[in-house]
Copies of this chain bind each other. A is one copy, B any other.
Amino acid sequence: VDQDHIMKAYDQELARLDQLIAEMGGLAESQLSDAVEAMLRRDSELARKVAERDRRIDALERDVDALTMRVLALRQPMAEDLRTVIAALKTASDLERIGDYTRNIANRTLALAQLRPIGGAAHTIARMGVLVQGMIKNVLDAYVGRDAALADDVRLRDAEVDQLHTSLFRELLTYMMEDPRHITTCTHLLFIAKNLERIGDHVTNVAEHVHFMVCGEPAAPDRPKDDRSSLTVVESLPPDREEAPKP
């Protein structure tokens, strides 16, 4: 009976780890959705709420850490259970980072609200946000459902985010050059786009943790990386716009 009791408590702890990850992931997803909406609507109130609520994700990570240490120390898990515990530990760390990037988007929204609005780029960024949000949702489904195929699929979709980011990088640079009054706005938008690209990277990490948890071996190391923004050079003015030197 005692042995039964221990096993039951152990199973409950593993189930609780899953719940905590699902809760963190759900929060990360809704926070990102709110952050992107706040950016689009120039809604400082909502942005402030998003920044504030990030503490809840941080607190959940500490809960996962504490429970992980407890399970490792008391239950000495083996094989699949051990992989589950390690996957939870690593996933919590990635979700916490996703929360940080989302809070940063919210903070930049506060700066953007003080600047004159510009049109198109914010909408492209919002599209990128929807894409990344869908990846978070799917990778959590893969996590909870122990679905390695779905995790691998999410991992591949990060290339789309990278491509969108690279084209946004060019677009925003060009926009700054055409009208230097937009420089501060565009810089914050550049960093928001970069935050989304990084969130995509962390979702990819989670997908890799799921793969490892389910399959017992690391996902293939070379995933496609298509973010070329760091290599991008945009000339300062197109030749037909080059002004004659002032006297």
Contact = CB atoms under 8 A, between A and B. Distances in A.
Interface of A: 58, 62, 65, 68-69, 72-73, 76, 78-79, 82-83, 86, 89-90, 93, 104, 107-108, 110-111, 114-115, 173, 176-177, 180-184, 187-188, 190-191, 194, 218, 221, 230-237
Contacts of A235: 184
A142 B191 CA distance: 33
Given A183-B173, A183-B183, A111 B72 contact: no
Given A190-B187, A191-B194, A236 B62 contact: no
A70 to B, nearest CB: 10
Contacts of A191: 194, 230
Given A73-B79, A107-B230, A233-B114, A58 B221 contact: yes
Q: Specify how many copies of this chain sit in the oligomer.
A: 2
Given A58-B221, A111-B232, 5 more contacts: A89-B89, A90-B93, A104-B230, A173-B183, A176-B180
Given A89-B89, A218-B62, A233 B78 contact: no
Nearest to A180: B180
Nearest to A104: B230
Contacts of A83: 69
A72 B173 CA distance: 49
Contacts of A194: 191, 194
